[in-house]
Amino acid sequence: MTFLYHGLEARGAVWAEIFAARVPDLPFLRWGQDSVDPAQVRWLAAWNAPAEFIAQFPNLEVLFSVGAGIDQLPLDALPPQVRVVRMVEQGIITGMAEYVAMACLALHRDLPFFITEQRAGRWTYRHTRLAADTRVGVMGLGELGKAALEMLKPLGFPLSGWSRSAHSIEGVECFAGAKGFDAFLAQVGIAVCLLPLTPETRGILCRETFDKMPRGSAVVNAGRGGHLVADDLIVALDSGQLRAAMIDVTVPEPLPEGHPFFSHPAIFLTPHVAAETRHGSAGEVLADNVLRLLAGEPLLGEVDRTRGY
């Protein structure tokens, strides 16, 4: 019985030390560095493992994502008995909450506009608002969404949340399902997308969505690039329906040279850095889950494959 890691060498080295200390009787092997008997591999940790790579392990039981997302994994190609687990690690959660707070403050205070004016050599006044005047709505109320809302609360923004299923969060007006989506959009000044990427959420940041938001609103996408229809965003910004956007995830990554996101004056673009898996703390979480697995206990972050999250 073997645990196999496929990914960055630096992360693998840290995780090997953690497993040696915490799960010493379990062989922890690193793809490309250790000799691997595919028939012995029961558990695999990877970020992006192609279907043909996974297919060589006939006895695979659990696939661990090294990140919070799972849409990059070939779930449709996995045998139905293989369990899938996403990374639930405090570094990812805190990093995302910090990014969302930064993005909302930057968009609320019109930093894209002021930076454009600065670079053009202009000293241009624009009226500013207090946070209490801008409602922030978070799409996706899992660990990341809830942490982002908690980070935003002390800043004074009125807060809303939307998800597929109903939630109750203190200090947050919550909406749920298709029936609640339009009502959610109608009152948000900044919409933050932290949804999982599923067939239902792919392309959710589109012209139809933007048109249902108040004119002059802003958007933050730190979920997945597939949530956003890029051409629709450009149209919404150029028409004034949206005031600005902060984008951390794109399709493809990296964007090709000359893509309009690089030069658009109303877009802040970051290269998928909103939240990162921290080697040490993530390794501890993974070891915790392996110990849970050995003890027959529920796994932290296990995905319902029928729902995609």
According to DSSP H, which parts of the chain are helical? 9-22, 51-54, 90-108, 111-119, 143-152, 177-185, 207-211, 230-239, 260-263, 279-295
Active-site option among 224, 227, 243, 264: 224
11 is catalytic: no
C-alpha–C-alpha distance, residues 100 and 107, integer Å? 10
- CA–CA distance, 23 with 294 (Å, rounded to integer): 10
CA distance linking residue 235 with residue 233, whole number of Å: 5
Q: Which of 109, 259, 272, 305 is catalytic?
A: 272
- Residues sharing a CB contact under 8 Å with residue 220, sequence separation 6 or more, in sequence order: 100, 103, 104, 107, 190, 191, 192, 193, 245, 246, 247, 248
CA distance 260 to 244: 14
Residue where the block lists tokens 């109320």: 141
Please state, in angstroms and as integers, the Cα–Cα distance from residue 48 to each residue in 63, 75, 249, 250, following that order: 11, 11, 16, 16
**Spatial CB neighbours of 188, under 8 Å, sequence gap ≥ 6:** 135, 136, 137, 160, 213, 214, 217
Respond yes or no: is residue 224 known to be catalytic: yes
Q: Rounded to 5 degrees, what are φ and ψ at 190?
A: -135, 120
Catalytic residues: 224, 272
